Amino acid sequence: MEVDLSAQAVGLLRSAALGLAGGVLYDLLRPLRYRLRPLPALLCDAFFCLLLGAASFALAMSAGSGRLGTVALCAGLAAFLLYLNGISPLCRTAISKLIQKIRKLPHFEQLSKNISQKKKNNA
Protein backbone atom coordinates (compact mmCIF):
# COMPACT_ATOMS: atom_id res chain seq x y z
CA MET A 1 0.00 0.00 0.00
CA GLU A 2 1.55 3.25 -1.15
CA VAL A 3 1.34 6.54 0.66
CA ASP A 4 0.71 9.45 -1.68
CA LEU A 5 2.43 12.36 0.03
CA SER A 6 1.17 14.93 -2.45
CA ALA A 7 -2.45 13.92 -1.76
CA GLN A 8 -1.83 14.20 1.97
CA ALA A 9 -0.25 17.63 1.54
CA VAL A 10 -3.20 18.81 -0.56
CA GLY A 11 -5.60 17.51 2.09
CA LEU A 12 -3.76 19.39 4.83
CA LEU A 13 -3.73 22.59 2.77
CA ARG A 14 -7.44 22.25 2.03
CA SER A 15 -8.18 21.76 5.72
CA ALA A 16 -6.07 24.78 6.63
CA ALA A 17 -7.81 26.86 3.95
CA LEU A 18 -11.18 25.82 5.37
CA GLY A 19 -10.02 26.88 8.85
CA LEU A 20 -8.93 30.29 7.53
CA ALA A 21 -12.21 30.70 5.62
CA GLY A 22 -14.09 29.86 8.81
CA GLY A 23 -12.17 32.56 10.65
CA VAL A 24 -12.95 35.14 7.98
CA LEU A 25 -16.63 34.20 8.06
CA TYR A 26 -16.63 34.47 11.85
CA ASP A 27 -15.15 37.97 11.59
CA LEU A 28 -17.71 39.01 8.97
CA LEU A 29 -20.60 37.81 11.13
CA ARG A 30 -19.21 39.34 14.33
CA PRO A 31 -20.59 42.90 13.83
CA LEU A 32 -24.03 41.46 13.10
CA ARG A 33 -23.96 39.33 16.22
CA TYR A 34 -23.01 42.27 18.45
CA ARG A 35 -25.72 44.55 17.07
CA LEU A 36 -28.56 42.03 17.10
CA ARG A 37 -30.79 40.95 19.93
CA PRO A 38 -30.11 37.58 21.57
CA LEU A 39 -32.36 35.43 19.37
CA PRO A 40 -31.12 36.72 15.98
CA ALA A 41 -27.56 36.51 17.29
CA LEU A 42 -28.21 32.89 18.24
CA LEU A 43 -29.53 32.25 14.73
CA CYS A 44 -26.42 33.90 13.30
CA ASP A 45 -24.24 31.57 15.40
CA ALA A 46 -26.30 28.57 14.28
CA PHE A 47 -25.85 29.65 10.65
CA PHE A 48 -22.08 29.83 11.18
CA CYS A 49 -21.97 26.38 12.78
CA LEU A 50 -24.13 24.79 10.10
CA LEU A 51 -22.14 26.35 7.27
CA LEU A 52 -18.78 25.37 8.72
CA GLY A 53 -20.06 21.90 9.61
CA ALA A 54 -21.37 21.36 6.09
CA ALA A 55 -18.09 22.56 4.60
CA SER A 56 -16.14 20.24 6.89
CA PHE A 57 -18.38 17.34 5.92
CA ALA A 58 -17.93 18.12 2.22
CA LEU A 59 -14.16 18.28 2.74
CA ALA A 60 -14.20 14.93 4.54
CA MET A 61 -16.24 13.30 1.78
CA SER A 62 -13.93 14.62 -0.92
CA ALA A 63 -10.94 13.06 0.84
CA GLY A 64 -9.91 9.51 0.00
CA SER A 65 -12.75 7.08 0.80
CA GLY A 66 -14.51 9.77 2.84
CA ARG A 67 -11.84 9.58 5.54
CA LEU A 68 -10.42 12.77 6.90
CA GLY A 69 -7.58 12.08 9.25
CA THR A 70 -7.16 13.55 12.68
CA VAL A 71 -4.11 15.45 11.47
CA ALA A 72 -6.15 17.20 8.76
CA LEU A 73 -8.85 18.14 11.26
CA CYS A 74 -6.18 19.49 13.60
CA ALA A 75 -4.70 21.49 10.70
CA GLY A 76 -8.07 23.13 10.06
CA LEU A 77 -8.58 23.89 13.73
CA ALA A 78 -5.05 25.26 14.07
CA ALA A 79 -5.54 27.53 11.05
CA PHE A 80 -8.84 28.77 12.50
CA LEU A 81 -7.26 29.51 15.89
CA LEU A 82 -4.17 31.13 14.34
CA TYR A 83 -6.45 33.37 12.30
CA LEU A 84 -8.51 34.37 15.33
CA ASN A 85 -5.45 35.12 17.47
CA GLY A 86 -3.14 36.55 14.81
CA ILE A 87 -4.85 38.04 11.80
CA SER A 88 -8.31 38.70 13.18
CA PRO A 89 -7.48 41.90 15.13
CA LEU A 90 -6.24 43.52 11.91
CA CYS A 91 -9.28 42.36 9.98
CA ARG A 92 -11.66 43.53 12.70
CA THR A 93 -10.17 47.01 12.48
CA ALA A 94 -10.57 47.04 8.71
CA ILE A 95 -14.14 45.72 8.92
CA SER A 96 -15.14 48.32 11.52
CA LYS A 97 -13.67 51.13 9.39
CA LEU A 98 -15.56 49.80 6.40
CA ILE A 99 -18.81 49.72 8.38
CA GLN A 100 -18.23 53.32 9.55
CA LYS A 101 -17.70 54.44 5.94
CA ILE A 102 -20.86 52.66 4.84
CA ARG A 103 -22.83 54.35 7.62
CA LYS A 104 -21.63 57.75 6.41
CA LEU A 105 -23.02 57.20 2.92
CA PRO A 106 -25.95 59.57 2.28
CA HIS A 107 -28.33 56.81 1.23
CA PHE A 108 -27.62 54.80 4.38
CA GLU A 109 -28.13 57.83 6.64
CA GLN A 110 -31.47 58.60 5.00
CA LEU A 111 -32.54 54.96 5.34
CA SER A 112 -31.70 54.89 9.04
CA LYS A 113 -33.61 58.16 9.59
CA ASN A 114 -36.66 56.71 7.82
CA ILE A 115 -36.54 53.61 9.99
CA SER A 116 -36.28 55.62 13.22
CA GLN A 117 -39.20 57.84 12.14
CA LYS A 118 -41.36 54.79 11.42
CA LYS A 119 -40.56 53.40 14.85
CA LYS A 120 -41.59 56.71 16.48
CA ASN A 121 -44.82 56.83 14.47
CA ASN A 122 -45.73 53.28 15.46
CA ALA A 123 -45.09 53.91 19.16
pLDDT of residue 64: 63
pLDDT tens-place string over residues 45-69? 898 999 988 888 888 777 665 556 7
pLDDT tens-place string over residues 66-94? 556 777 788 888 999 999 898 888 888 88
Q: What is the mean pLDDT of residues 14-19?
A: 89
- More confident: 90 or 104: 90
pLDDT of residue 93: 85
Domain boundaries, the chain: 5-88
Gap between the Cα atoms of 25 and 121, Å rounded: 37
Gap between the Cα atoms of 123 and 119, Å rounded: 6
Question: If you average pLDDT over every residue of the chain, what do you get?
Answer: 80
For the stretch 2-9, contacts whose Cβ atoms lie closer than 8 Å and that sit 24 or more positions apart, written own/partner, are 7/64
The pTM assigned to this predicted structure is 0.69
